Amino acid sequence: MASHGRSTNRDLGRQLAESLAADLFAGRYGPGDYLPKETELCTLFDMSRASVRSGLQVLESLGIIARIAGRGTRVEEFRDWNILDPMVTRWMADHAAPNPAFIREIYEFRYAVEPFIAMTAASRATGRDLAAMEEAFAGMEASVESGTLRFEGREFSDYDIAFHAAIYRATHNLVWAQLATILRPSILLVIRKSNDTAEELRDSLGRHRYLMECIRLRQPEAARDAARHVMNRTGEDLGVADADRPGHVPPLPDSEETAGSG
């Protein structure tokens, strides 16, 4: 019986954590805010104090909240949140779209690191890596052409995620490959937040194609710049792009020049 009680508390605690996570990631509670007191949460969710504490422990273990004796439960700064945990990345994808501050944090991460990752991939990508990028890009393209953003049972966003994850993996660096887990929520946020026209989607495809070609032709500097062009499009769709960042797509690199440079 005692074991069953602990299991029930954990199950209800997970439900509480899910509900509070929706509010936290949507920005209803921001860093520095205090959550309702435990007694208030018991009333709001019709749960025992043990279940409420179980749910708060889940959020605390992920660095999202801190429980301060005599003061209550405080929301921590974004930098303390364990955003690489699978549960947290799922919450980001499901609930962060209304939260501009959180979206900007994710965008700034990608804008800072992806040019370097693309540059590294252009130097290290194998034939298998390139095949993975090409397959993902073909799926993106077919999804757009279908008019439904679906192709062979998969969403456009699935192919988009696979494309960028292939670039991360093409660095052949353990840390960068692991960081690819942040791609799913950030890309899903773009898809859900934007209402791209067919023309805008074709523009995005052009930027992705250009990036893939720069990596295939082993032009690290061009790949770095191409990744920035992809992120410019992302920033425009999210409404967080800086006005002074160039938005045009440059001509594709010259394959003969690349062959000559080794």
For residue 2, the model assigns a pLDDT of 45
For residue 196, the model assigns a pLDDT of 61
| Domains of the chain, residue spans | 2-80, 86-261
Q: Give the Cα separation of 129 and 134 in Å (integer).
A: 9
Q: Give the Cα separation of 225 and 220 in Å (integer).
A: 9
pLDDT 10s digits, 87-123: 998 898 788 776 778 778 888 888 999 999 999 999 9
pLDDT 10s digits, 22-69: 999 999 999 999 999 999 999 999 999 999 999 999 999 999 999 999
Return the H-helix or E-strand segment holding 68.
strand 65-68
DSSP per-residue letters across 141-193:
HHHHHHTSSEETTEEHHHHHHHHHHHHHHTT--HHHHHHGGGHHHHHHHHHHH
Residue 262 has pLDDT above 50, yes or no: no
Q: Give the Cα separation of 236 and 188 in Å (integer).
A: 15
**Percent of the chain residues topping a pLDDT of 90:** 56
- Please list, in sequence order, all residues whose beta carbon lies within 8 angstroms of the beta carbon of residue 129, skipping any fewer than 6 positions away: 121, 166, 169, 170
For residue 247, the model assigns a pLDDT of 45
For residue 260, the model assigns a pLDDT of 33
What's the pTM? Answer: 0.76
User: Closest Cα to residue 219, out of 167, 164, 257?
Assistant: 257
Residue 11 has pLDDT above 70, yes or no: yes
- Please list, in sequence order, all residues whose beta carbon lies within 8 angstroms of the beta carbon of residue 145, skipping any fewer than 6 positions away: none
Q: Give mean pLDDT, residues 172-178.
A: 89
For residue 244, the model assigns a pLDDT of 45
Residue 81 has pLDDT above 70, yes or no: yes
Q: Give the Cα separation of 9 and 49 in Å (integer).
A: 9
User: Tell me: domain 86-261, CATH 1.20.120.530, correct?
Assistant: yes
pLDDT 10s digits, 190-229: 666 655 677 788 888 999 999 999 999 999 999 999 999 9
Amino acid, res. 4:
H
Amino acid, res. 151:
F
User: C-alpha 239: how far from its chain's center?
Assistant: 16
For residue 4, the model assigns a pLDDT of 44
Q: What's the first-to-final CA gap in the chain, in angstroms?
A: 70
pLDDT 10s digits, 119-148: 999 999 999 999 999 999 999 999 999 989
Topology of domain 2-80 in CATH is Arc Repressor Mutant, subunit A (1.10.10)
CATH topology agreement for domains 2-80 and 86-261: no
